[in-house]
Chain A
Amino acid sequence: MQQKAALQTKIDRLNSELPITGAEALIRSLIAESVDTIFGYPGGAIMPVYDALYHYGEQLNHILTRHEQGAIHAAQGYARASGKVGVVFVTSGPGATNLVTGLADAMIDSTPVVCITGQVASHLLGTDAFQETDVMNITIPVTKWSVQVTRAEDIPAAVAKAFYIARTGRPGPVLIDITKDAQFGKAPFHYEPCQQLRTYRPKPRLQMEAVRAAAELINQSRRPYILAGQGVLLSGAMEALKALAEKADIPVANTLLGLSSFPADHPLYVGFLGMHGNYSTNRNTNECDLLIAVGMRFDDRVTGDVSKYARQAKVIHIELDEAEINKIIQADVAVHADAKEALEALLPLVKPNRHTEWIASFHRYQQEEFEKIVSKDWFPATGLIKMGEVVHLLSELTQGQAVIVTDVGQHQMITSRYYAFKRPRTHITSGGLGTMGFALPAAMGAALGAPHEQVIAIIGDGGFQMTLQELGTISQYHIPVKILVLNNSFLGMVRQWQQLFHESRYSFTEMVNPDFVKLLDAYGIPAGRVTERAQLREALAEFVSAPAPRFLEVKVEKEDNVFPMVPAGAAVSDMILEA
C-alpha cells in the first residue's frame, strides 16, 4: 500500500499540464516505471530522446554499449539477474535490425525487455528514407508485442502498456518504435500505469479440479519425477517446489533455464536434463511412472525423440502459457496456471510419501556416470586442462554462490553439469536460441542488475570473439564482471559433432585466436592466462578473490568432448556415456 502511494506521489511529480516533448515524455514514463538503467546506442532517429535523457542523468543510468546487440543482451542479463524489466534505446535502421537476435533470444527464453527504437519522421515511413527500415514487420515474430507511435501524446500510454505486457504472464520482449516527429511533438504529460488490457489475460484462474487430479496422480505414483523449468524462477515458486518435493519425496531435475531453481546440494536434486545433461536424469525419464513438468516446455533438447519420450509415464504439466500445453507432449493432467500458485494449491493435497528405491535408482546411474565421466573430467591425472575441472574448481571456490553467465557451446553444457547452483537466479544463459556472443554483454547487465553479487561470465573462445567489443563498455564504466574464457581454439561443440557424426572432418571449426591477455591489456582490464594444471587452483582462486573487472584465459584440451550425450534424434534413454 505504501509502495503504491509512493509510486503515485512520484507520478504526480512527473505529470505536467505544460506540454513537454514526446522525447521527454518517454524519459518521464520510464522514471514512472521505476527504470534505473538503460542500455543503448544513439543515432539520428533517436537523438531527441538522447537530448532529453541528458537532463535526467541523476535518475537514469545510461550505459553506452559498443553495439546494439550488446545493449539488448545486457538488458536481458539485467532482467534475469534483477527480476526487473531491461530497457534498451537504439536508433532506426541498422540500430533496430541489430536488436533482432536479442529479441528472438528474449522471446524464446521469456525475458522481459522493453526496446525503444527511434524511427524516421512519420511522413517518411515507407519511402526508403535514410536509416528507415520496417522494424515493426521485421520484429513481429520475435516480440511479445510491438507498437509504432507517431504522436507525442500517445507515448506515455504505449510505455505503460509495454511494461505491463513485458513483465506479466509469460514475460517477453516488447518493442516501441517512435517516429522522430512524435519525439519532437509536444503534449501535456499524464502517466497512468497499465493494470489490465481487454484482450490479455496474463494470469489464468487456477482450476482446482485439475490440481486435485494432479494430486491424485502424485499420491498414486510409485516413481514420480519433477522436471523444473524457468517457470519456477519466474513465478518465484522455489520454496513451494522444495516443499512439494520434500513432502512427497520426489526427485527433481532442472532444465537448462530452470537451473538454480532448486538447490544443487539438496538430497532430492538429481541434476540437469537434456542432450548433455546427466545420465540419471535422462535415463529415468523413461523409467518413471509420473512426470511432473513445472514451468517448462519440453524443448527438443530435453525430449530427444518425442515418440520415445516417457511413453510409460503419466504426465502432469503445470504451465502458465497455454500454447505450451500439449504442444510437444500430451498431458494427462494439464494445470494451466502460474507455477507458484499451482504448487501451493497442490501441496496440502499431496500426501507425505517415501520413494527410497526409486531415488536410489538415480544414485546408481549417478555412480556409473561419476566413474565413467565425471571423475575423469574433474580429476584428470595427465594431459591438458579439461573444462570440467575448471568449472568444478570454480564451483568449489565460489561455493556455488556466484551469478554465472554462460555463452553457448561445450563450456555452457559443462557449466550446467558441474557448477553447483545453490541460489535462485544465479544462472543466466541463452537457452532456446543458443546465441553465441550472449554471455559477455549479458554478464555486464547482470552485474548492474545485481550489484551485490559476484558475476562471472564463462565463455568459449568462439563466443567471446562475437561480442568482445563490449570490453570497451566494461572498461569505460568499470562494470564489475569476471570473465573466464575456456580456450580450446575450436568451435568446440561443432567440432565434437564433426568428430562423432561426420568422421572427424573438422570443416572450418578451428580458430586462430589473438593474444587475449594483450587484448585485455589494451582495454585496461587486468588479465591472466593459465596453461598448466599446476597453476590452475591458484590462478582461479586469485581470479575469484580479485576485484572486478578481471579476465582469466584457461587454455584447455583442444579436442575434449562433453559426455554423456543423447545423439540427435535418439531417445533420452539411449544416452551414451562415451564415444
Chain B
Amino acid sequence: MKKDFSFIVYADNSFGILNRMINAFNRRRIRIRTLMASEDEQNPHTGSAGFILYTTEDMMRKVKPQIEKFIEVDHTHYEEGTTAFYQYLQQLSVEK
C-alpha cells in the first residue's frame, strides 16, 4: 500500500547529485510530494536533501540502497509519515 515517507539524504554538495536522486525516484515512478535541499552552513562542500515520497514500504527498502550507492551520498534514512521531514526542516532553519 502506498503512503507518505520522509526520506533524508546527507551528501557531498556536488553538481548533479540532486539530479541523480530525482532520477532514481522518477525511474521507479515514485511520486515526490515535497523536496527541500540545502547546503551545509558550516561546510558548503556538504549538504542534505529531504523528501516526502509517496510510495510503498517495499519500494522504500529497494530505493534506499540505490541512493546510497551514489558516490557522493554519505548516508540516508527514511521513516513512514511526514514528521521526520518536518523535523529535518526545523533543524535546517535552526542551523540557519
Contact = CB atoms under 8 A, between A and B. Distances in A.
A533 interface: no
Contacts of B19: 137, 140
A141 B23 contact: yes
Contacts of A144: 71
Contacts of B62: 323, 326-327
Interface in B1-39: 11-12, 14-16, 19-20, 23, 27
B70 to A, nearest CB: 8
A200 B71 contact: yes
Given A141-B23, A323-B65, A326-B62, A199 B73 contact: yes
Contacts of B73: 199
A410 interface: no
B16 A165 contact: no
B80 interface: no
A321 B66 CA distance: 9
Interface residues of B, number: 19
A199 B12 contact: yes
A136 interface: yes
B71 A136 contact: no
Contacts of B14: 147
A198 interface: yes
A198 B71 contact: no
A140 B19 CA distance: 8
Contacts of B27: 141
A321 B70 CA distance: 11
Contacts of B69: 321-323
Contacts of A321: 69
A322 B68 contact: yes
A148 B11 contact: no
A146 interface: yes
Interface string A111-149: 000000000000000000000000011001100111110
Interface in A288-344: 321-323, 325-327
Contacts of B20: 140-141
Given A140-B16, A140-B19, A141-B27, A326 B71 contact: no
Contacts, number: 41
B96 interface: no
Nearest to A336: B65
B74 interface: yes
Interface string A351-384: 0000000000000000000000000000000000
A6 interface: no
B75 to A, nearest CB: 8
Contact of B15 (A148, A197, A200): A148
Identify the interface centre among B11, B16, B62: most chain A CB within 10 Å of its CB.
B16
Given A140-B20, A141-B23, A148-B15, A323 B74 contact: no
B68 A145 contact: no
Nearest to A324: B65
A198 B16 contact: no
A325 B62 CA distance: 9
B21 to A, nearest CB: 10
B71 A199 contact: yes
A98 B23 CA distance: 21
A146 B68 CA distance: 16
B40 interface: no
Contacts of B16: 136-137, 140, 146
Given A137-B16, A148-B15, A197 B71 contact: yes
Nearest to B65: A323
Contacts of B23: 140-141
A383 B23 CA distance: 51
Identify the interface centre among B11, B23, B65: most chain A CB within 10 Å of its CB.
B65
Contacts of A322: 65, 68-69
B72 interface: yes
B61 A199 contact: no
A147 B12 CA distance: 13
Contacts of A140: 16, 19-20, 23
Interface string A146-165: 11100000000000000001
Interface in A18-44: none
Contacts of A137: 16, 19
A146 B14 CA distance: 10
Contacts of B61: 326
A173 B23 CA distance: 17
A140 B23 CA distance: 8
A144 B72 CA distance: 11
A199 B65 contact: no
Contacts of B12: 198-199
A426 B11 CA distance: 39
A165 B12 CA distance: 15
A198 B72 CA distance: 8
A361 to B, nearest CB: 34
B23 to A, nearest CB: 5
B86 to A, nearest CB: 26
B61 to A, nearest CB: 7
B5 to A, nearest CB: 18
A398 B69 CA distance: 41
A115 to B, nearest CB: 15
Contacts of A148: 15
B65 to A, nearest CB: 4
A325 B72 CA distance: 21
A199 B15 contact: no
Contacts of A199: 11-12, 71-74
A321 B14 CA distance: 23
Nearest to B12: A199
Nearest to B74: A199
Given A140-B19, A197-B71, 11 more contacts: A140-B23, A141-B27, A144-B71, A148-B15, A165-B71, A198-B12, A199-B11, A199-B12, A199-B72, A200-B71, A323-B66
Q: Which 5 A-B pairs have the closest CB atoms?
A: A323-B65, A199-B74, A322-B65, A323-B66, A145-B71
5 contacts: A137-B16, A141-B27, A322-B69, A325-B65, A326-B61
Interface of A: 136-137, 140-141, 144-148, 165, 197-200, 321-323, 325-327
